[in-house]
Amino acid sequence: MIRDPENESMPRERLERLQLERLRAKVGEVYERVPFYRRTLKEKGVTPDDIQSLADLRKLPFTSKLDFRDNYPFGLMAVPMEQVVRIHSSSGTTGKPIIAPYTRHDVDTWAEIMARTLTSAGTTENDVLQNAYGYGLFTGGLGFHHGAELLGATVIPTSTGNTKRQILMIQDLGTTVITCTPSYAITLHEAAREMGVDLRDTTLRLGIHGAEPWSEKMREDIEDRLGIIAINVYGLTEVIGPGVSVECPYKCGMHIWEDHFLAEVINPETGEQLPYGEEGELVITTLTKEAQPVIRFRTRDIISLNPEPCDCGRTMVRMSRLTGRSDDMLIVRGVNVFPSQIESVLLEVEGVEPHYLIVVDRQHAFKTDELEIWVEVSDEVFSDEMGKMENLEKRLRSEMDSVLGIAARIKLVEPRTIARTEGKAKRVVDRSEL
Amino acid sequence: MRLKQVSVFVENEPGRLEAILEVLEGAKISIRALSVSDTAEFGIVRMILDKPEEGLQALRQAEFTTRVDWMLSAQIPDVPGGLLNSVAKPMAKAGINIKYFYAYIGHAGEDKAMVVLKTNDIEKAEEILKSLSVD
């Protein structure tokens, strides 16, 4: 199902005309209203009039996460506070939270984009949608909530946590669609199993998962364990929240809503634009956002873009599955591995302190053949029985395998083994450094 | 008799057992019994200490991963079949699984040997040992 065929299936020529028109207007707007953009454009010697074609996009300066921090809280805002109706925020990787203000129009646009997103994933007005993304400052909860209401589905705003109640709701209220992070989907399965409930026997038929990197193997696991179709969704607080892109039922990449978000892929080292199909860092320019538009935002997410028309009928470009952040990516036997994925597994296996070290044999830059993960054994998980310790090791190994998509060696170590550093811990070391 | 066992997680590397023993020596704690179970990567050092709480504290201060478990001790006749008839047979008969056990330097007479054992049912195992007067 396509909610808005006129826009979602627009011929690419017409789409590009629309994008250029919107880009020019937006660049003019931020140049006039946001001192930060006026300064960065001037530094590059660019004025809004220099944007004559979409190819001129590359003349514009990038905006980074650091720029959000440096201009905290309202330095990137393009409207007076009277026009802002809501503010979301995310924890941000650099210490200060990322502030995301929305005008009335932004909130409405977001709901429409989310209704589109949910429809693309396969949700209809007849569905009962249980929204287990966190409600509050995080964009996930309210983003999905308003989209689902606009679509006309029945929303159960369970938010995160209270897993037993989530399962009770699924059973008793006839939930057909669950929206949550992929790791929470696995948690639901495990809790259900402990309660003697097989989620495959419930009305649940569809899961829409995002907000953290996950692998194709994890999708298979979720689909198998919950008896659902699992759809990948993508978004960023800096851009709008969830709903930047989503898969269609063909599951062959996430369609980016290009009438609202202009996407490019760059070489993260040089900043040079890369052609379609090549893997690099995703950069997004918002075309319709009012309260806080962003020009050439460096997402740090590594993906590739595919502009081929999709069997679903949409013309919007598809981005590949996202595996993590450009700043800490490793390539192990050709598979991209991110410390964030490893962290999510450790957090899931109860009691394991997320103190870990990834040991690689990095003779060829960031490529390695062996992945070894050292995990500190805390008092909570330590057992005097060897069988239990071996089970812990086995469980970590199989969860890592599922999440990373490749096998990793797990080594249980004493707390003293992994050096504590001030601030951000060093997570990856070369074997030669040990 | 119930005894507290202190277990320590160690990497299977030279010097790690030494490090534990140094901590205990420093705290003037004596080891009554010791058992090590290991894989190629790591080991579990299980100990009966004369002052278990103090020993535990010293090891924790030295940042070792530790835990405490209740164990049972048995004084068995130091004769062929002693362990078999006083512990192994009666436990098996009662359906109790002995998870592991090891020898213990107790203060028994010359004709007795001592073991500490961990089972899946400490209450029932304790009763059996009492009924056989080997507790």
User: Which one is predicted more confidently, A294 or A418?
Assistant: A294
- The answer to whether A378 faces chain B, any CB pair under 8 Å, is yes
pLDDT at A147 over 90: yes
My answer on whether B52 and B15 are in the same domain is: yes
Cβ-contact A383, B100 below 8 angstroms: no
**Distance (Å) from the C-alpha of residue A422 to the closest C-alpha of chain B?**
19
Distances from the Cα of A251 to the Cαs of A25, A120, A255, A319, A326, in angstroms?
A: 34, 10, 10, 11, 24
- How sure is the predictor about B106, in pLDDT bands with cuts at 50, 70 and 90? low
- Token pair, residue A286, equals 């918002």
- Read off the pLDDT of residues B1-29 as tens digits, 9 standing for 90 and up: 899 999 999 998 889 999 999 999 999 99
Q: Return the pLDDT at A301.
A: 87
- How sure is the predictor about B135, in pLDDT bands with cuts at 50, 70 and 90? confident
My answer on whether B13 and B44 are in the same domain is: yes
- How sure is the predictor about A249, in pLDDT bands with cuts at 50, 70 and 90? very high
Q: Return the pLDDT at A422.
A: 39
B39 to A390: CB separation less than 8 angstroms, yes or no: yes
Closest by CA to A213, choosing from A428, A372, A367, A405, is A405
Number of domains chain B contains? 2
Domain finish residue from B43, B69, B95 = B69
SS3 assignment for A320-358? CCCCCEHHHCEEECCEEECHHHHHHHHHHCCCCCCCEEE
Domain finish residue from B69, B100, B115 = B69
Q: Where are the domains of chain A?
A: 1-325, 329-433
My answer on whether B78 and B52 are in the same domain is: no
Residue of A nearest to B43 (CA): A386
- Read off the pLDDT of residues A272-282 as tens digits, 9 standing for 90 and up: 999 999 989 99
Sheet holding B66-77, edge to edge: B31-38, B42-49, B2-11, B66-77, B112-119, B98-104
Q: Return the pLDDT at B99.
A: 93
Q: Taking all residues of chain A, what is their mean pLDDT, rounded to a whole number?
A: 89
My answer on whether B56 and B17 are in the same domain is: yes
What's A1-325's CATH class? alpha beta
The whole-number average pLDDT for the span A118-138 is 96
My answer on whether B75 and B61 are in the same domain is: no
A384 to B66: CB separation less than 8 angstroms, yes or no: no
Percent of chain A with pLDDT over 90: 66
Q: Return the pLDDT at A432.
A: 63
Q: Return the pLDDT at B89.
A: 94
CB pairs under 8 A between A and B: 50
Q: Return the pLDDT at A93.
A: 45
Q: Which residues pair with B33 in a beta bridge?
A: B48
Spatial separation of the C-alpha atoms in residues A49 and A53, rounded to whole Å = 10
pLDDT at A44 over 90: yes
Of A384, A411, A412, the CB nearest to B7: A384
Closest by CA to A288, choosing from A78, A86, A142, A9, is A78
My answer on whether B45 and B95 are in the same domain is: no
B37 to A379: CB separation less than 8 angstroms, yes or no: no
A415 to B100: CB separation less than 8 angstroms, yes or no: no
- How sure is the predictor about A130, in pLDDT bands with cuts at 50, 70 and 90? very high
My answer on whether B58 and B13 are in the same domain is: yes
Spatial separation of the C-alpha atoms in residues A162 and A173, rounded to whole Å = 16
Of A378, A383, A411, the CB nearest to B41: A411
User: Which one is predicted more confidently, B63 or A82?
Assistant: A82
My answer on whether B63 and B87 are in the same domain is: no
What's A329-433's CATH class? alpha beta
Residue A362, C-beta contacts closer than 8 angstroms, at least 6 positions apart: A368, A430, A431
My answer on whether B81 and B57 are in the same domain is: no
Determine the length of chain A: 434
- Token pair, residue A280, equals 């690099």
**SS3 state at A207:** strand
My answer on whether B50 and B97 are in the same domain is: no
Q: Return the pLDDT at A424.
A: 41
Domain limits at B88? 70-131
A413 to B67: CB separation less than 8 angstroms, yes or no: no
Residue of A nearest to B8 (CA): A384
Cβ-contact A83, A103 below 8 angstroms: yes
- The answer to whether A411 faces chain B, any CB pair under 8 Å, is yes
Look up the CATH number of the domain holding residue B52.
3.30.2130.10
pLDDT at A9 over 80: yes
- How sure is the predictor about A423, in pLDDT bands with cuts at 50, 70 and 90? very low
CA A140 to chain centroid: 10
Kindly tell me the burial class for residue B126, based on how many C-beta atoms sit within 10 Å of its own C-beta (0-12, 13-18, 19 or more): middle
- How sure is the predictor about A337, in pLDDT bands with cuts at 50, 70 and 90? confident
Of A377, A390, A411, the CB nearest to B9: A377
Percent of chain B with pLDDT over 70: 96
Q: Return the pLDDT at A94.
A: 44
SS3 assignment for A148-204? HHHHCCEEECCCCCCHHHHHHHHHHHCCCEEEECHHHHHHHHHHHHHCCCCHHHCCC
The whole-number average pLDDT for the span A117-136 is 96
A412 to B9: CB separation less than 8 angstroms, yes or no: yes
Least confident segment among A36-40, A211-215, B107-111: B107-111
How many CB atoms sit inside 10 A of residue A189's CB?
Answer: 21
My answer on whether B53 and B28 are in the same domain is: yes
- The answer to whether A351 faces chain B, any CB pair under 8 Å, is no
My answer on whether B59 and B84 are in the same domain is: no
**SS3 state at A7:** helix
